[in-house]
Amino acid sequence: MIVDLIQHTPDPEKVVAAAARLCYSSDAIPDLFEQLNDDKVANFVRRLREMGHLSPFEHVSFQFSIDGVSRALSHQLVRHRIASYSQRSQRYVKENGFEFVVPPSVRQNPEALERFETVMSRLQEDYQELLNNVPAEDARYVLPNACTTSLMATFNARSLLNFFEHRTCIRAQWEIRFLAERMLNLVREVAPNLFSEAGPTCITQGVCRQGTYSCGRLKTLERKK
């Protein structure tokens, strides 16, 4: 898995602070930017988070390149609807000798790994043979969820907070959790105040919404207080 933050709104935290201050000021937007120093920006962002007033967060966006993840992951990722995605097409790009993701549980089990790799090898052969007889858009029907893909994804900051809330949770599927953790580390480097409180609700809000499926981390955190 290779994840990069390839572009983002310049000075994202100042943009959020200026957008919030605009709601309560008669000053022109350029003047609002000039009035904001680093301390004021950090304070505005903190207060917005505490009040749950997150609409100003929607004014800044972050664009990621994501490579070497499985189709199983991409099916989950696009469920986060307030985002924009572009993905390598299996209809137009042939998957000759496709690479695939091996789950850790499979990799740690020699018998399972052997069977998994045998299946992948057979599917590669079958896919190649089908390409000789039918269009790629039809041959792709035999490709597995393990087949790797590449995406470009663009989120606004508010949507990212929601994404991190759900996908950094221990209950999230392992591959998309790894992706979310890497994305969170990247945005914290360029907007630490916006994302200082990002993460699963057990950490950020002291609540768990998983019910009987809870991993139990909240109770562990409560005992440490």
Annotated catalytic residue within 122, 167, 209, 217: 167
Placement of tokens 């969820």 in the chain: 145
8 strand-pairing partners: 62
Q: Is 167 a catalytic residue?
A: yes
Tokens matching residue 185: 């580390």
Dihedral (CA of 100, 106, 107, 110) sign: negative
DSSP 1-62: -EEEEEEE-SSHHHHHHHHHHHTT--S-HHHHHHH--HHHHHHHHHHHHHHT--GGGGG-EE
Angle at 224 between CA 192 and CA 170, to 5 degrees: 60
Residues known to be catalytic: 167
